[in-house]
Amino acid sequence: MTAKLKVGVVGATGMVGQRFISLLAAHPWFELACVAASPQSAGKPYAEAVAGRWSLPGAVPANAARLTVLDAAQVEQVAGQVDFVFCAVDLAKDATATLEEAYAKRETPVVSNNSAHRWTADVPMMIPEVNDGHAQVIDAQRRRLGTTRGFISVKPNCSIQSYVPALHPLRDFGLTKVAVCTYQAVSGAGKTLESWPEMVDNVIPFIKGEEEKSEQEPLKVWGSVSDGRVVNAALPRITAQCVRVPVSDGHLAAVFVAFERKPSKEQILEAWRAYAGTPQALKLPSAPSPFLNYLEDDARPQTKLDRDAGNGQAVSLGRLRPDTVFDWKFVALSHNTVRGAAGGAVLTAELLKAQGYLTAK
């Protein structure tokens, strides 16, 4: 058996960082070697740094609990201990972009949750089942950065991770217009219902920047690669409304869709049933199978019942029916801090390892 790659989590103490820690507790390919966060946490054992704010079931995994948290800005120190890092810091966009580039230039690949580099044309923004081919822009990115192994790969926003997978196998029917309303959990804001009591018995119809991301990021995910850059797809036109709801985890989306060649209900269900991506073909450790689950019960998917499908990596679909304005409408659900954040990044890293982009130093 080949040795595991040594990985660091930068932003390890936050909501997404904690998910990384839990997903890396017994990962078959990756071994947690280093945790980093802000100067406030630096110097403390990880268990102490997250005391009182560990938000996942069970205790802090033993392999993380005893690690001393490093200052994320000490790039040399962190990079010296790992083959690559996951990044989930909550910093200003410019500062995040600079920090991630510093790691990449120190020959330490970065698989990031952050939005800072999502629009950098030679940075792949991947949903591994949808656009694994975008990894090829890493070669051009390495030339730009002057690195031999360092690069940045990002994952798209959590809000799009249910409806983009659902729409992807339907693109053959000429997807023209999409309207989507997302119902997003409080963990998407790095909070719990306990730490955000104003959300209990409440709905907030505004999430800063989320509608723009929900409308634009799918076009990069569905883009084509030309000359070492991702060129956005022109269609579909997407309009989004994003709403915060009093749910701990799980982003639900109500989706309306129009096609050039309207498929039948059976054709849509068959396209979903049959769809599998490269992660399924390669049997990557975190790949859910099936990727898309259609539930016949009209009252499903529900956040509480269905967000953990496929260990939180699968997408649950339901309520496919004709629409009076668009062609079809349906509901889609994904786990925002697993598939939408840390889990999606871990699956991306597995794909990048399988493709030969992530290697031991």
Give the residues lining the site for ligand NAP (CB under 6 A).
Answer: 11-17, 37-38, 40-41, 72, 88-91, 113-114, 158, 187-188, 190, 336-337, 340-341
- The alpha carbon of 354 is separated from its chain's Cα centroid by a whole number of angstroms, namely 18
CA separation for the pair 255, 143 (Å, rounded) = 40
Alpha helices (H) in 84-240, listed in sequence order: 93-105, 138-145, 163-167, 210-221
**CB nearer to ligand NAP: pick between 15 and 258:** 15
Q: What residue ranges in the chain does DSSP mark as E strands?
A: 5-10, 30-37, 70-71, 84-87, 110-112, 152-154, 175-184, 224-226, 229-231, 237-244, 251-259, 292-295, 315-322, 328-334
Q: In whole angstroms, how close is the CB of 92 to ligand NAP at the nearest point?
A: 9
Residue 274 class from Cβ within 10 Å (0-12 exposed, 13-18 middle, 19+ buried)? exposed
Which listed residue (158, 168, 242, 335) is catalytic? 158
- Residue 173: helix, strand or coil by DSSP? helix
Give me 305's structure tokens. Answer: 């019942």
**CB nearer to ligand NAP: pick between 40 and 289:** 40
For tokens 């029916």, what's the residue? 321
Q: In whole angstroms, how close is the CB of 186 to ligand NAP at the nearest point?
A: 9
Distance from first CA to last CA of the chain, Å, rounded? 17
φ, ψ of residue 154 in degrees (nearest 5): -125, 165
State the residue number with the nearest CB to ligand NAP.
14
Which listed residue (27, 134, 168, 251) is catalytic? 251
**CB nearer to ligand NAP: pick between 41 and 141:** 41
CB burial of 153-162 (b: ≥16 within 10 Å; e: otherwise) equals bbbbbbbbbb
**CB nearer to ligand NAP: pick between 308 and 323:** 308
Q: In whole angstroms, how close is the CB of 101 to ligand NAP at the nearest point?
A: 15
Query: Could you confirm whether 158 is annotated as catalytic?
Result: yes
Choose among 343, 342, 278: nearest CA to 311: 343
Interhelix angle for 138-145 vs 93-105, to 10°?
A: 90
β-bridge mates for residue 329, sequence order: 256, 321
**CB nearer to ligand NAP: pick between 208 and 283:** 208
**CB nearer to ligand NAP: pick between 119 and 326:** 119
Among all residues, which ones are annotated catalytic?
158, 251
